[in-house]
Structure 1
Amino acid sequence: MIFSYEKEKLPEIYNRDGKKCYLDPIRKRLILITPEEIVRQKWISFLKDKLSVPEQLISVEDHLSHYGVNSRRRADIIIKGNDDSGNQYPLCIVECKAPDVPLTESTQNQVFDYCDEIGADYAIMSNGYTTDCYKYNEKSNQYIRLSEIPTYRDILGGKYIEYDWGEYPQRMPFEELKRRVVAGEIDEFISDMTIPEIALPAYNLLECFLDYRVKMPTGDYGMFKLIQDYGVRILSYGNHSGGVFSGPYRSFLIDVDGSTEIVSLAITTCYKSTSQDYIRTALCIAIDNEESSHHALQLVLDENLEVNDEICDFYHHGRIAIGNIGSGKISELRTFVEKYCPEMIDGKKFYLGTLTNDKLWRLDDPEVGHVIANLISYALIRDKYRKYKKSLK
């Protein structure tokens, strides 16, 4: 197989804060376009479309430390394989350079060194127009240059399998959801200290986020336009208070004032810094940007969800942390909310919507979509306020 730089496809281009970005299909992020990134994205297309490598077995900008190596270095692209138990192993490293960067002996030594450290047998280096492919020969203890790039099946070499990922299981019925909450058989992302009246809607919302088969309709949601329901991503985010939250997030590609952003929602556990023994359940909303990713809102359901029989009202008290600046003023945040979404003002609190918890919630349900849109809008407003406060420093 031959890599053709001119013929390989590129992802769609989006604008973020006046900068052109690709929506990377592997990292699931908006990535600033550079000459090297163009080569990298063309290689991702080639691996998927020509070599038939499953997306789940491609990693990009992957830390070698993920493979037990004591190093901060990262490989551009790693192709992996599965054994019959589903365990993943690195098979090939692709090192990408910009088209005007020649492939030197130093480049070769770099990728060979990476392969040696993580145990990958295949090494590829490419600047788009020039591509070299090697395979490690155990007898000679050398990397032997190949005349063409092997297919994924050839790379597997009978040692690993083409893993069957299977189907995502159907959601449990609503009555089973209720039974599990009553029995205390709840998900790890919901605190067992959260009372059942709050745990049930939290569990329903968690299952709603994880059901990637049901999409939130695209369109205009007032403060933003939904370009694409991007499905479930496993992510790790920090908040402005220094906490870190990892797990499955439901992500949405949105347009805000002509700039493309990725906003992600998750249900997870959290605790107060002053009382780490008290574990609560939170609805977290995270925003990706070019420099970093952060939680724009951590809505603790134990405090901000009011349940009356089946009626669930989502509120927020308005408290807000602004990095090194400290806490913002709720009164100042209120002026921003009044400007963009005045209907959210409800006395001293911010009203984010109501759901009736008598059935499984789905993202294509207008009632659910309205609450999700409010949550995203409120998170965006909070970030606008943070940006304003930081501009005053």
Structure 2
Amino acid sequence: MKIYKKNGKKFLYDMVKGILRPATPEEKVRQKVVKYLVEQMKIPIEAIETELLLSSIDNLSKLRADIVVWHINEATNSEECLLIIEVKAPHVPLTEKTLEQVMSYQSILKSKYVAITNGEDLEIYQIRENGTAQLLTTELYTYEDLINSNVKFAKKRTMRRLSFDEINYHRYINMLIDKGYIGEETDPALHPFLAELQNFILVEPISCVLPIQFKGISLEQDLGYSFHTYGNAAGGSFPGYYRGFVVKTLDGNEAIYRIGMFGTAKLINDPIYGNRKSYTVLNVATEDMLGYHNSLELNIDNSISKRKTEYRFFHNGRLTAGKKGSVKIEKVKNYVSKYAPDLLVEDKIYLGSLPNNMSISWDQGQQFIMNLLLYANIRDKLRNDIKKR
């Protein structure tokens, strides 16, 4: 890809519009994808449009589609949208939110297909009659293939609940470390428990009837596992699988809480973060009417203690409220004391215990999950109260 320099700045040639654009990481991906569409998928350049303002279709829309492919419907002799592609920079993982984003464009353009890409991976979906998106296989499809629906669908990957013997298998644990779900410097003695903890969180079925009422909140719906990414206050991000729950909060509103386990990266002489050990964290993220954010980041390596045949989980109460900065730990504890006083144990926030050296059932882990959801909700409530002042 040729880079042009002008006045000390770098530009790329947009082969669709015939102009130079700033050579941003996203623009590099966009031009790489356009080249792939033309050279590999045999899509005519005149059928491709970049950065389409959707206000041209719906004057109330403020959205903009990265790449749109058009075709002529021979039956009606009218131009129709065939494919919409959402482009992300190479370092951005493709998640459910990326797909939701391009689907919001599809609701206006009514395309037959949507796709998401970061330049490394390209996922193409066909829109079914019920409005859902079904993933295609990774085969190379041409323009004519898409027009004529000459496509194949990928088999849906599903996780299954693994036995403790399977969890304890060294190759499985090494896979979790390699995929970034267990920190590479986390104590190996914790590995079997953490492998079981992740499997329990993601796929252990709920064995009781919903909703589950618990100390002022209510677990209304189990959304299962899905791929997401959420960032923390320090600028880090945690892409991977989370288990989602619809929760009626202390304020009586509904929000989605997602729980996932991840390993942090080991850093040596990083220009921003310096040196940092790798460890394993348990994250609880929130999605509500105000947006989405990481509610709780629990450093498992430093926050659990072994007691006979179980591990107990504690949190120190640290919290950051956006631009307001760090919140005094005593203030966090005061909020916990107000809404869930029994979580204050040994001057820390106690989140529950889970058995070691065995599979964890829902009955054994339900209180831990509910404590996580409740504590995350209390933290969100405190953040919101601080931001209103």
Instruction: Give the TM-score, by structure 1 length.
Output: 0.60
Report SS of the residue matched to 1:306.
strand
Q: What corresponds to 2:153 in structure 1?
A: 162
Unmatched segments (≥5 aa) in structure 1 = 1-64, 72-82, 84-89, 136-148
Q: Which of these residues, 356, 365, 376, is aligned with residue 379 of structure 1?
A: 376
Corresponding residue for 1:40?
none
**1:1-393 residue pairs with structure 2 within 5 A?**
68-69=29-30, 114-115=68-69, 122=82, 157=148, 159-165=150-156, 168=158, 170-180=160-170, 186-187=176-177, 188=179, 189-211=181-203, 217-219=209-211, 220-256=213-249, 257-270=251-264, 276-362=275-361, 365-392=362-389
Secondary structure of the residue aligned to 2:277 is: strand
Is the CA contact (8 Å cut-off) linking 1:251 and 1:263 kept in structure 2? yes
Distance 1:112 1:312, change over 3 A: closer
The separation in 1 between residues aligned to 2:353 and 2:324, in whole angstroms, is 33
Alignment deviations for residues 18-40 of structure 1 (CA, whole Å, 9 cap, x no partner): xxxxxxxxxxxxxxxxxxxxxxx
Aligned residues of 2:69 and 2:81 also touching (Cα < 8 A): yes
8 Å CA contact retained: 2:173, 2:195: no
Residue 375 of structure 1 aligns with an amino acid whose one-letter code is: L
CA distance in 1, matches of 2:112, 2:165: 56
Q: Which amino acid aligns with 1:247?
A: G
How many Å apart are 1:169 and its aligned residue?
A: 5.0
Contact in 1 for aligned 2:173/2:191 (Cα 8 Å): no
Deviation, 1:350, is 0.8
Rounded to whole Å, the distance in 1 between the matches of 2:337 and 2:128 is 59
Q: Using CA pairs under 8 Å that are at least 6 residues apart, name the structure with larger relative contact order, 1 or 2.
A: 1
Cα RMSD, aligned residues only: 4.4
Count of residues paired in the alignment: 283
- What amino acid sits opposite 1:238 in the alignment? G
| Contact 1:245 1:268 (C-alpha < 8 Å) held by counterparts | yes
CA-CA distance at 1:300 after TM superposition: 0.4
SS in 2 for 1:165: coil
Structure 2 unmatched runs, 5+: 1-25, 33-40, 42-47, 72-79, 85-104, 114-126, 137-144
Cα 1:97–1:329 change in 2 (3 A) is same
- 8 Å CA contact 1:182–1:196 kept in 2: the answer is no
Decide whether the 8 Å contact of 1:112 with 1:123 is kept in 2. Answer: no
SS of 1:387's equivalent in the other structure is helix
Q: Residue by residue, what CA displacement relative to the aligned partner does 1:122-168 show, whole Å, maximum 9, x if unpaired?
A: 269xx9xx998899xxxxxxxxxxxxx997999573632133326x3
Q: Deviation at 1:102? A: 10
Amino acid at match of 1:115: V
Counterparts in 2 of 1:162 and 1:244: CA distance versus 1, 3 Å = closer
Partner amino acid for 1:352?
L
Determine the C-alpha separation between the residues in 2 that align with 1:160 and 1:67: 28
Q: SS of the residue aligned with 1:241?
A: coil
Contact 2:81–2:109 (CA under 8 A) maintained in structure 1: no
AA partner of residue 176 (structure 1): E
Distance 1:114 1:334, change over 3 A: same
Query: How far off is 1:381 after superposition?
Result: 0.8
Aligned-partner Cα distance in 2 for 1:175–1:342: 38
Q: Is the Cα contact below 8 Å between 1:241 and 1:321 reproduced in 2?
A: no
Q: Decide whether aligned partners of structure 1 residues 378 and 133 sit closer, same or farther in structure 2, where only a CA change above 3 A counts.
A: closer
One-letter code aligned to 1:343: D
Instruction: State the alpha-carbon separation in 2 of the partners of residues 270 and 332 from structure 1.
Output: 28
For 2:119, the equivalent position in structure 1 comes to none
Preserved CA contact (<8 Å) 1:267 1:281: yes
The residue identity in structure 2 corresponding to 1:195 is D
Do the aligned partners of 1:252 and 1:263 also contact (CA within 8 Å) in 2? yes
Q: Distance in 2 between matches of 1:181 and 1:112?
A: 40
Offset at residue 227 of structure 1 (A): 1.3
